[in-house]
Structure 1
Amino acid sequence: MQTLTTQGVTMPKLGLGTFRLTGENCRRAVESALALGYRHIDTAEMYANEDAVGAALASSGVPRGEVFVTTKAWHDHLEPQTIRAALAASLDKLRLDHADLYLVHWPVPGMKLGPALDTLMQLRDEGRIRALGVANFTVPLLRQAVEEIGAPIACNQIEYHVLLDQSPVRRYLAANSIPLVAYAPLAQGRLADHAELAAIARKHGATPAQVALKWALDQDGVAAIPKAGRRESQKANLDAFAIALDEADRRVIAGLPKDQRFVNPAFAPRWDIA
């Protein structure tokens, strides 16, 4: 498994996303992924599945030190005491004594980012988390976190796929050696019948989804966490590493429309402000 190193931790480039996986379905999916060789599991308190993830981790037999576990604090838990309580609850459900990465899940207007990140830094120093980061942060928010607050941001987790340009954020992250962790890298399943990707896939004996995933994984400083509940899909995502996209393939992908954002809740930040 290819890895990225950030803020003193090593993160596998391909992980298992668990959004919308709950209960036994989630537990079985995580168990299956770990059995296949996945060592990066992504969850969040908002997903309401940390208990299922924890059960799968406990039953897997994989040593704790070999699994990179990410969870996240929801935006109504960003005060110093509530973020501590949220992490404690998450770790209890996950049956862990620490998280490898803990993220501010979504920024919201009026949040007190400084105290929130200060608390995360304290939790890192206390050994409750190994690294801290953010999700769904725009360039102005990243500047605030990195340049004004001075937080050691280990990643920014954002929607990123072949149909969505994230160049401003990518440039800022690259300039500051911060990985981009791509969620919804398969555009939430919308790429399975994509004509241009299907043509590339036929050339490589692959699927359009595998082509899209390999495009993301080929990029420096980019990890991806596609959700995959079925073992077949999990294995297909692992097998994407074997695809060798060429310059002609990348030119076709570069020419695709890049304005399709599929995750945009009412409280999301303004992505058009650089």
Structure 2
Amino acid sequence: MAIEMPRIGLGTYTDDDQEGRYDAVKTALDVGYRHVDTAQVYENEEYVGRGIADSPVERDDVFLATKTVHNTVPESTDLVRDAIEGCLERLGVDSVDLCYVHWPVGVYEAEPVLTTYQEAYDDGLIDNIGVSNFTPEHLEEAREILDAPIAAHQFEMHPLLPQEELRADAREHDYWAVAYSPLAQGAVADVDPVVDAAEAHDASPYQVALAWLLSKENVAAVPRATGRDHIADNFAARDLELSDDELAAIDAVEERERCIDFDWAPWN
């Protein structure tokens, strides 16, 4: 694998209580997380950064990822460098371990955006370049433009949306496939093979869904959570080993559900 990344991270997206991300981050680091994921559009980078700074865990021990270039921010490709620097300022850091292009839509133009990311990488502002919500075609285009390798691709992935094609691309080109909404916003708790495995292991369905993801090559996950119990429950998935039969039963689920499906998304 091109880079080291803790395979379970804390997702910090929320549509309310942005200040609550401060406590969530501190709690997650206390539980044992060493990977925190945020984004410019989440409007909580300040609280995420303070949570890391106020934790006894050393900054160098935390894999910190953020995202910019959304369908609404920045307003122009000319402002991409400002957007990256703004993320660092709000987080209170000199650099981030990973910075994703959040969406290849809206203001996104491959050449100027990716060239700016490359320059920020060359200047030491971002240690690794990632992309998010890209199609295979976008990924191929990005590889042609970037000198640095794509370190990670973040997209929705869970037992109801296994994303075989995108996972195959990650294996072929040796980068991380990072699952957001890895619990399908709770819907995995209604998937029979997930529930069966949870009962067999005295685990939660959410632990099973995450363990299923972690059984896949080149896959990490960033489930969002707030309370300590939920944060700890997700983290415990690292120690849950599903049997081959249990994994095969989840692989065989035919139902498909996409939680994040904007009309403007690149797959529509």
Partner residue of 2:258? 261
Relative to structure 2, which stretch is displaced further, 108-117 or 225-234?
108-117
**TM superposition shift of 1:270:** 1.9
Partner residue of 2:53? 58
**1:124–1:130 contact (8 Å) kept in structure 2:** yes
> Where do 5+ consecutive residues of structure 2 fail to align?
none
Does the residue aligned with 2:48 lie in a helix, a strand or coil? helix
**TM superposition shift of 1:198:** 1.3
Partner residue of 1:152? 149
- Is 1:28 aligned to residue 28 of structure 2? no
Partner residue of 1:251? 248
Aligned amino acid, residue 235 of structure 1: A
**TM superposition shift of 1:94:** 0.7
**1:164–1:257 contact (8 Å) kept in structure 2:** no
Aligned amino acid, residue 142 of structure 2: A
1-structure distance, mates of 2:173, 2:186: 31
Give the number of equivalent residue pairs: 265
Q: Residue 127 of structure 2: which of 124, 127, 130 is its match?
A: 130
Pairwise mapping of residues 53-132 of structure 1 onto structure 2 (< 5 A)?
53-75=48-70, 76-77=73-74, 79=76, 81-108=78-105, 111-132=108-129
**TM superposition shift of 1:111:** 3.0
Aligned amino acid, residue 260 of structure 1: E
2-structure distance, mates of 1:61, 1:52: 16
**1:137–1:156 contact (8 Å) kept in structure 2:** yes
Aligned amino acid, residue 10 of structure 2: L
**1:118–1:151 contact (8 Å) kept in structure 2:** no
- Is 1:206 aligned to residue 203 of structure 2? yes
CA root-mean-square deviation? 1.7
Q: Residue 12 of structure 2: which of 3, 11, 18 is its match?
A: 18
Aligned amino acid, residue 230 of structure 2: S
Aligned amino acid, residue 24 of structure 2: A
Deviations 1:227-257 (A, max 9, x none): 0111111111121122121111012101212
Among the aligned pairs, what percent are the same residue? 38
Deviations 1:26-70 (A, max 9, x none): 111001001111110000000011011011011112211101110
Does the residue aligned with 2:4 lie in a helix, a strand or coil? strand
Does the residue aligned with 2:217 lie in a helix, a strand or coil? coil
Q: Residue 232 of structure 1: which of 229, 232, 247 is its match?
A: 229
1-structure distance, mates of 2:190, 2:122: 47
2-structure distance, mates of 1:223, 1:78: 31
Q: TM-score, normalised by structure 2?
A: 0.93
Aligned amino acid, residue 46 of structure 2: D
**TM superposition shift of 1:110:** 7.1
2-structure distance, mates of 1:78, 1:144: 22
Aligned amino acid, residue 81 of structure 2: R
**TM superposition shift of 1:147:** 3.5
**TM superposition shift of 1:78:** 7.8
> Where do 5+ consecutive residues of structure 1 fail to align?
none
**TM superposition shift of 1:104:** 0.5
Deviations 1:63-121 (A, max 9, x none): 11101110111324285541111111111111111111011001116732122111111
**TM superposition shift of 1:145:** 0.8
1-structure distance, mates of 2:243, 2:114: 41
2-structure distance, mates of 1:25, 1:151: 35
**1:18–1:43 contact (8 Å) kept in structure 2:** yes
**1:180–1:221 contact (8 Å) kept in structure 2:** yes
Q: Residue 166 of structure 2: which of 164, 169, 179 is its match?
A: 169
Partner residue of 1:46? 41
Relative to structure 2, which stretch is displaced further, 31-40 or 105-114?
105-114
1-structure distance, mates of 2:255, 2:6: 26
1-structure distance, mates of 2:249, 2:50: 43
Deviations 1:113-140 (A, max 9, x none): 1221111111111111100110001111
2-structure distance, mates of 1:106, 1:204: 38
**1:31–1:56 contact (8 Å) kept in structure 2:** yes
- Judged with a 3 Å threshold, the aligned counterparts in structure 2 of structure 1 residues 159 and 94 are, in CA distance, closer, same or farther, namely same
- Judged with a 3 Å threshold, the aligned counterparts in structure 2 of structure 1 residues 217 and 78 are, in CA distance, closer, same or farther, namely farther
